[in-house]
Amino acid sequence: MDSRDSEPLLQGFTIGTETPEMDAHIIGMTDRAFGPGRYVKTAERLREGAVPYRDMSFVAQKNGRLAGSVRLWPIVVKTDETSETIAFLGPIVVEPEFRSLGLGKQLIRRALEAAARSGLRAVALVGDATYFGELGFARADLTLPGPVDPRRVLIHYFEDGVSLSGEITRAG
Ligand SMILES: CC(C)(COP(=O)(O)OP(=O)(O)OC[C@H]1O[C@@H](n2cnc3c(N)ncnc32)[C@H](O)[C@@H]1OP(=O)(O)O)[C@@H](O)C(=O)NCCC(=O)NCCS
């Protein structure tokens, strides 16, 4: 598999943006990591039928083999008066044999840099506050299209003074 703009990383890994040809591999790895239960998660309602932001979604590879993936998706934060497109991060997956090397955080940092460059003002996710807190995420005042533990709804802003609240929906 070739990914665009690959660059060397630690111990023979490369990180680059994903391509459509990688979809089946990424989905297979994600299914193995989370099991079939992942499809009933509220976060999945934001992804079903959607296409990830390819230029903000990254894969790590070792010797041409997929080692990890992080995907960003277009979502809309809506209030009564406003509507803003941002990105939703997930799933983040690293193959078990490559965990604890820092790959997960490297992938997320690359995705955040790309999202900031693209002009989006924020990236939201549902995840562990300890892990993502180290990457600049904090509790968000956002609702999702289904039940979710509010302590796991997190957001990362790229500009000081920005604060988004409201309902997250799938874009489009
Ligand atoms: C979460 C995951 C992507 C981390 O990938 P990674 O490359 O090992 O991450 P890093 O090397 O950057 O960081 C590792 C640290 O993350 C923390 N961590 C890992 N999984 C975590 C989790 N589910 N919750 C909280 N912290 C976690 C641990 O502190 C770990 O440190 P350790 O190596 O000393 O145990 C990987 O464990 C994975 O694919 N898990 C299965 C899928 C998953 O749970 N995704 C996250 C959903 S929120």
What does the pLDDT look like over 32-71, one tens digit per residue? Answer: 999 988 999 999 999 999 999 999 999 999 999 999 999 9
What does the domain layout of the chain look like in residue ranges?
A: 4-170
Reported as a pLDDT band with limits 50, 70 and 90, residue 88 is: very high
> Residue 36: its pLDDT value, please?
85
- Total Cβ atoms within 10 A of residue 44: 16
* Mean pLDDT along residues 70-94: 96
Q: 152-167 pLDDT, tens per residue?
A: 999 999 999 999 999 9
Contact (Cβ atoms closer than 8 angstroms) between residue 72 and residue 52:
yes
How far apart (Å, rounded) are the C-alpha atoms in residues 69 and 22?
10
> Residue 1: its pLDDT value, please?
54
CA of 80 to the centre of ligand 1 (A): 37
The topology under which CATH files domain 4-170 is Aminopeptidase (3.40.630)
Q: How do 141-143 and 4-8 pair as beta strands?
A: unpaired
Exposure string (b/e) for 80-108, b if CB count within 10 Å is 16 or more?
Answer: eeeeeebbbbbbbbbbeebeebebbbbbb
How far apart (Å, rounded) are the C-alpha atoms in residues 146 and 168?
10
CA of 81 to the centre of ligand 1 (A): 38
CA of 54 to the centre of ligand 1 (A): 23
Percentage of residues in the chain with pLDDT exceeding 90? Answer: 88
Closest C-alpha residue for ligand 1 atom 15: 100
Residue list, ligand 1 pocket, CB within 6 Å: 33, 92-94, 99-105, 127-128, 130-131
Reported as a pLDDT band with limits 50, 70 and 90, residue 80 is: confident
Q: Which residues pair with 87 in a beta bridge?
A: 74, 123
